[in-house]
Every structure is written in structure tokens, then in C-alpha cells.
């Protein structure tokens, strides 16, 4: 079979029948046929797919696809389909050959829209979930498409400022609170939901829950992992922090801070591998809050210290799920709990079992070359990764996973940082009809020039100290501007 066969199948409405991949797009069910896919998903971040597709139409307007919903369906071994819904952020025309035009789509979760909105605003006395809700609801695609599954309530933040794009702000807030997100796909393929959680128990198990490790006889299609190995890496062993609070300044003998050692079950680690940080003034109020924030950092290191990596033809896997590994000799004596693994990251490498896939031209920017390299790297187990169609066409499915034991706490890595701030001027404000408004320490409230949400009352900012130049050794004063 070749290009003319697929053209006939498209015109007859049968091109996506019983294929490894199907694609729903705003153009209709059979306008774009998925040919190749590379996708990546990671908890605490989001997911993204790149799809090479063919069409009998060479005149698709790319702008009609941008920011529109699409759904990629992956066929399971029982012939059912699991969806991956998202929004197109990139559309490319690759080229034409033998009456077929090749296109490429990039789509991702609704969180991708957060990259394109930047804001400057202030929240006071709000917990992180309320702040995140405010930001998410500014994006129509996110409204009603997120929820929180928290084991413990979050502490209100006395003062929280955004001065960056929504993507960075949301992620640094999530990371600081020890949270992470995963996505659930609606069964009808029409939506997806972000689950923000602080515990791996929020993950749903795969169905079936057990995933086999299977190496013997990998000369036929198998729904199992064919590679599996563990990796341990050295991390810091102690986190020590200091902060300062004028209301509870501590002393040189007993400063305000935290000390958190790593678990004693990770081998003979070097004791000098301490991280000592001054986290700034007023990092936290209560000691419990400080201990919790430091524990989050330590748990992130401990999570990274031991990870597992696997690959195979298990089609139902996705980041944010968990499974129980069976039939692996390295875990034969492990308890049931130690054979339960949470999926941290997932990568898909798929070639659809279309008649035209192996014969299509290799256009610049297409996924053909990248998939050929992946197949070559897994030549020893290639037979187990082949997916045949009744018409004789042959596809390829490989998934690579990163996992950790489900019983070990997970925290998102601290990869998103506060933006670099600069000296700013502002206007002194206070309640209506009050000429001077200070607290007992003669601190003031201000409204920053960029603040478009506050009218200039006493809620415009936190209390700010005023510094003047006419002070020195043995003299000085307090000035109210």
C-alpha cells in the first residue's frame, strides 16, 4: 500500500479506522491523519506533543489551528483508545509529495497559555491555593479545569507579589509550597484537568494496576516494560537556614533558623555536604512553618537521590499515575509497597500504522529522522515495539518512563526563581481623610506606580520602613514622608 491507498481511505472516511493513532481537530475527523508523534509529560510541569500529520488538502490555513483544541487518541492493546487533549501552539506546513501534504502540530495543556501573560500585582493574607486560583481563572481555558487535592492546609501569605509571567509565578509558588501538579484526561477527549497536590496518594493507578517486566521472547508485540534500571545520585545531606524577625530576634547562641538532616537510609554519605543559607528577613512566622519549608527542600533532594528508568510498549502510562511492577528479578524479594512506583516523567515515540508512514518523504523539521534514531537505539527489542494493522501496515510504539517509589515523598525541583527587582518609587497612601498613617514603628503604606488594582488605600502594600540619610553613630531620627 502507498500514498494512493491512503488517499482513497481518507476519501472513504476509513483512514483512521483501527489505527494506533487518531487525531481530532477543528478541521474534522479525517482532514489531518497523525503519522508520527513525540510527546513528553512531567509532574510539576505539564505535557506537550509534536505530531506529524498528512492530509489530502494542501491549503489548510495554519492560523485556523492556533490556540484551538485537539485530541490525540492512542490505541490500547484491547483496541480501546485513551485521549490526550490539548491546545495547538504551533502549526507548520512541512511539504507535499504524491498528492499528500504533510503538516506538523505542537499542542500542550492549557498551562501553556500562562507563558504569554505577564502581570504585576499583590496579594495579602491569602494562601497559595487562593492566589493560584486567581491566576488560573484569568485564562478561559483553565476555568473549571483545575482542582486542589491537599493533605494539609496551606499557610496564608502575609504579602505575595507577582512581577513576571504567569508561568514562572505559578511554578515558583507551587515549588515553594512543596506542591506539584498532574493532569487527568476526560474520557470523551474533550478536556483535561490539572490536579494540584502535595502527596503522591492523589495519583490514580494504571488500569490494570500491574505492569510486567518482560524480556524473554521479545519478538512479538507486548504490553510490558522491556528495560528497567535504578539510578542513585549523591545529594546534599543537611539543610541549615537562618532568618531574622525583629519581633523574635533570637540570639547568637540560639538564632532563628532550621536544621534538617537527610534520612539515615541512604548509605555512608559525606557529612560535610551541608547547604547553609540565610533566607532573608521574615521568611516565616512560626517555627513550624520554617521547619516545613526546609523539609520540603530536603524531600526534593531525597526524591532525586533514587530514581528508576524504564522503557517498553505499555500504552496506558502517563506522568501522574502509579503502577505495581511485576516479574522483575531485581524486585523479587521487595514488599508490595516497594514495588509500587509513581510516574514522574513520560516520553512517547510513536509511528502510526498507516500505509504511507514508511514511504513518506523526509521533510525538514519532520519527526522522521528523530524517530529513526530512537528505533535504532532500541533495535534489540524492536519486535516487541511493533504494532501491526490488518491491512499489513506496521507502526511503532515506545514509551520511556522515569519513576520513583510511591512511598517516598515527591517535591517539584526549585527551578523557577523570583525575578530580579530594582529600586522603585511609590506614593504614600492610607485610609481616606487621614493625613498621616503609620503603625507603632512609624512604618508607612505605599501604592506602587504599576499597581492597577488598588485605589490607594491602606491595603495597597505591607508596612514599609523609611530610611533617611541623616543618621549616624549616636544620632538619628525617624521621618514620615
The pLDDT score that the predictor gives to residue 431 is: 92
The pLDDT score that the predictor gives to residue 175 is: 98
Q: How, if at all, do strands 238-244 and 225-232 pair?
A: unpaired
Answer positive or negative: Cα dihedral of 187, 188, 192, 195. negative
HSE (side-chain half, CA atoms, 13 Å) at 227: 17
Residue 452 is placed in which grid cell? 492597577
The answer to whether 346 touches 399, Cβ cutoff 8 Å, is yes
Residue 409 is placed in which grid cell? 515523598
Sheet holding 146-149, edge to edge: 146-149, 192-197, 180-185
The answer to whether 16 touches 24, Cβ cutoff 8 Å, is no
Q: Which residue has the cell 533514587?
A: 306
- What is the rounded radius of gyration, in angstroms, for the C-alpha atoms of the chain? 27
Domain ranges of the chain: 3-107+346-403, 113-201, 238-305, 426-477
How far apart are alpha carbons 29 and 236 in whole angstroms? 52
The pLDDT score that the predictor gives to residue 218 is: 52
Which residue, among 341, 455, 458, has the nearest Cα to 406 in the 3D structure? Answer: 341
How far apart are alpha carbons 258 and 274 in whole angstroms? 13
Which residue, among 34, 49, 38, 23, has the nearest Cα to 102 in the 3D structure? Answer: 34
The pLDDT score that the predictor gives to residue 250 is: 74
The pLDDT score that the predictor gives to residue 400 is: 97
| Neighbouring residues of 113: CB distance < 8 A, sequence distance ≥ 6 | 67, 87, 139, 141, 142
Is 0.85 surpassed by the pTM of this model?
Answer: yes
Beta bridge partners of 359: none
CATH code, 426-477? 2.40.50.230
Backbone φ/ψ region at 288: left (φ over 0), alpha (ψ -120 to 50), beta: alpha
The pLDDT score that the predictor gives to residue 221 is: 60
Q: Domain 3-107+346-403, what architecture?
A: Roll (2.30)
Residue 90 is placed in which grid cell? 504551533
SS (H, E, C) the chain: CCHHHHHHHHHCCCCCCCCCEEEECCCCCCCCEEEEEEEEEECCCCEEEEEEEEECCCCCCHHHCCCCEEEEEEECCCCCEEEEEEEEEEEEEEEEECCEEEEEEEEECHHHHHHHCEEEEEECCECHHHHHHHHHCCCHHHCCCEEEECCCCCCCECCEEEEEEHHHHHHHHHHHCCCEEEEEECCCCCCEEEEEECCHHHCEEEEEEEEEECCCCCCCCCCCEEEEEEEECCCCCEEEEEEECCCCCCCCCCCCEEEEECCCCCCCCCCCCEEEEEEEECCCCCHHHHHHHHHHHHHHHHHHHEEEEEEECCCCCCCCEEEEEECCHHHCCCCCHHHEEEEEEEEEEEECCCCCHHHCCCCCCCCHHHHHHHHHHCHHHHHHHEEECCCCCEEEEEEEEEEEECCCCCCCCCCCCCCCCCCCCEEEECCCCCCCCCCCCCCEEEEECCCCCCCCCCCCCCCECCCCCCCECCECCCCCC
Tell me the mean pLDDT per 10 residues along the chain, length 481.
61 73 92 96 98 94 98 95 98 92 98 98 97 98 98 94 98 98 97 98 95 72 88 94 84 82 84 91 88 95 96 96 96 95 98 76 89 89 84 91 98 95 91 87 92 90 83 71 72
Residue 325 is placed in which grid cell? 511492577
Q: Domain 113-201, what architecture?
A: 3-Layer(bab) Sandwich (3.55)
Amino acid at each position: 500500500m502507498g500514498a494512493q491507498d491512503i488517499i482513497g481511505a481518507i476519501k472513504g472516511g476509513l483512514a483512521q479506522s483501527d489505527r494506533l493513532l487518531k487525531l481530532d481537530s477543528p478541521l474534522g475527523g479525517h482532514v489531518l491523519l497523525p503519522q508520527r508523534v513525540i510527546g513528553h509529560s512531567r509532574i510539576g510541569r505539564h505535557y506537550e506533543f509534536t505530531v506529524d500529520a498528512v492530509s489530502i488538502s494542501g491549503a489548510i490555513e495554519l492560523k485556523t489551528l492556533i490556540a484551538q483544541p485537539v485530541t490525540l487518541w492512542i490505541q490500547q492493546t484491547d483496541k480501546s483508545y485513551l485521549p490526550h487533549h490539548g491546545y495547538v501552539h504551533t502549526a507548520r506546513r512541512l511539504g507535499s509529495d504524491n498528492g499528500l501534504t504533510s503538516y506538523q502540530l505542537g499542542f500542550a495543556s492549557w498551562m501553556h497559555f500562562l507563558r504569554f501573560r505577564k502581570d504585576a500585582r499583590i496579594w495579602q493574607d491569602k494562601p497559595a491555593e487562593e492566589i493560584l486560583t486567581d491566576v488560573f481563572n484569568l485564562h478561559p481555558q483553565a476555568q473549571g479545569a483545575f482542582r486542589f487535592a491537599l493533605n494539609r492546609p496551606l499557610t496564608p501569605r502575609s504579602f505575595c507579589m507577582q512581577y513576571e509571567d504567569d508561568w514562572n509565578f505559578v511554578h515558583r509558588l507551587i515549588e515553594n509550597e512543596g506542591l506539584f501538579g498532574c493532569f487527568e484526561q476526560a474520557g470523551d477527549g474533550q478536556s483535561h484537568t490539572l490536579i494540584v497536590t502535595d502527596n503522591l496518594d492523589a495519583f490514580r493507578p494504571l488500569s490494570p494496576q500491574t505492569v510486567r517486566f518482560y524480556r524473554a521472547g521479545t519478538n512479538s508485540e507486548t504490553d510490558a516494560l522491556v528495560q528497567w534500571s535504578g539510578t542513585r545520585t549523591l545529594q546534599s545531606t543537611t539543610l541549615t537556614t537562618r532568618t531574622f524577625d525583629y519581633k523574635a530576634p533570637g540570639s547568637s547562641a540560639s538564632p532563628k533558623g532550621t536544621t534538617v538532616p537527610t534520612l539515615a537510609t541512604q548509605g555512608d554519605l559525606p557529612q560535610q555536604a551541608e547547604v547553609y543559607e540565610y533566607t532573608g528577613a521574615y521568611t516565616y512566622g512560626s517555627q513550624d512553618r520554617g521547619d516545613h519549608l526546609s523539609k520540603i527542600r530536603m524531600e526534593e533532594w531525597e526524591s532525586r537521590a533514587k530514581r528508576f528508568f524504564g522503557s517498553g510498549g505499555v500504552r496506558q502510562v502517563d506522568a501522574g499515575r502509579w503502577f505495581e511492577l511485576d516479574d522483575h528479578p531485581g524486585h523479587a524479594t521487595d514488599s508490595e509497597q516497594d514495588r509500587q512506583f509513581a510516574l514522574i516523567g513520560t516520553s512517547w515515540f510513536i509511528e502510526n500504522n498507516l500505509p504511507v508512514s514508511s514511504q513518506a518523504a523526509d521533510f525538514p523539521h519532520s519527526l522522521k529522522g528523530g524517530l529513526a534514531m530512537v528505533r535504532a537505539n532500541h533495535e534489540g527489542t524492536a519486535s516487541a515495539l511493533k504494532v501491526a494493522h490488518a491491512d499489513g501496515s506496521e507502526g511503532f510504539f515506545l514509551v520511556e518512563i522515569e519513576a520513583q517509589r510511591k512511598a517516598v515523598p515527591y517535591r517539584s525541583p526549585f527551578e523557577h526563581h523570583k525575578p530580579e527587582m530594582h529600586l522603585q518609587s511609590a506614593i504614600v497612601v492610607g485610609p481616606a481623610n487621614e493625613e498621616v498613617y503609620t503603625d507603632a514603628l512609624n512604618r508607612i503604606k505605599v501604592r506602587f506606580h504599576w499597581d492597577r488594582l488598588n485605589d490607594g488605600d491602606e491595603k495597597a502594600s505591607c508596612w514599609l520602613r523609611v530610611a533617611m540619610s541623616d543618621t549616624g553613630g549616636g544620632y538619628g531620627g525617624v521621618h514620615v514622608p
